[in-house]
């Protein structure tokens, strides 16, 4: 089963989400990732519950950082706290991607999380193939994170099994 990547973004940055989805779509087509964004919510669905369920099942959360993202009451009030809680408690990877130049480096909760592109340069500052190169690097890094997380989960499952065997053997 492919790992779920949750995309958190402001609707004002939907073009950036779509650009990243186009690159990540290669990995989805290969069965390596399940990509989730709020445009998957069907008519009549409980949209808040759908978002909460998607956040709860995600292995990686990609945050498309812009001034719009950083001023969204919904994102800052609902999504970010839940994702940061899962990061601390469960090791969920929270991956900020700077899409537009903004004062992201002044935001306390972002200061301790390494983002991309490197050096805090916004994707909007790249043009042409250089932009596609940056999006490709981000895509490959997400796949690496998903694979590393899967390996760690497998190890933990193995450790749990060995712990149970040891407990039974001791009794």
pLDDT digits (tens, 9 = 90+) for 100-150: 999 999 999 998 899 999 888 999 999 999 999 999 999 999 999 888 765
What are φ and ψ of residue 37, in 5° steps?
-140, 165
pTM greater than 0.75: yes
Residue 123 sits at the vertex; the CA angle it makes with 117 and 126, to the nearest 5 degrees, is 110
pLDDT for 83 equals: 95
The DSSP call for residue 107 is: -
| Residue 159 scores a pLDDT above 80 | no
């Amino acid at each position: 089963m492919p790992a779920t990547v949750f995309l958190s973004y402001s609707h004002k940055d939907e073009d950036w989400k779509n650009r990243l989805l186009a690159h990540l779509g290669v990995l989805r087509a290969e069965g390596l990732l399940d990509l989730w964004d709020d445009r998957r919510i069907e008519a009549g669905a409980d949209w808040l519950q759908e978002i909460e369920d998607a956040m709860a099942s995600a292995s990686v959360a990609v945050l498309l950082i812009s001034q719009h993202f950083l001023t969204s009451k919904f994102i800052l009030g609902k999504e970010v706290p839940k994702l940061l809680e899962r990061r601390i408690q469960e090791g969920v990877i929270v991956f900020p991607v700077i899409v537009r130049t903004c004062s992201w480096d002044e935001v306390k909760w972002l200061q301790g999380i390494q983002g991309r592109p490197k050096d805090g340069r916004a994707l909007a500052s790249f043009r042409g193939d250089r932009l596609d190169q940056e999006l490709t690097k981000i895509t490959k890094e997400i796949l690496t994170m998903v694979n590393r997380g899967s390996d760690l989960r497998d190890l933990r499952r193995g450790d749990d099994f060995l712990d149970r065997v040891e407990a039974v053997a001791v009794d």
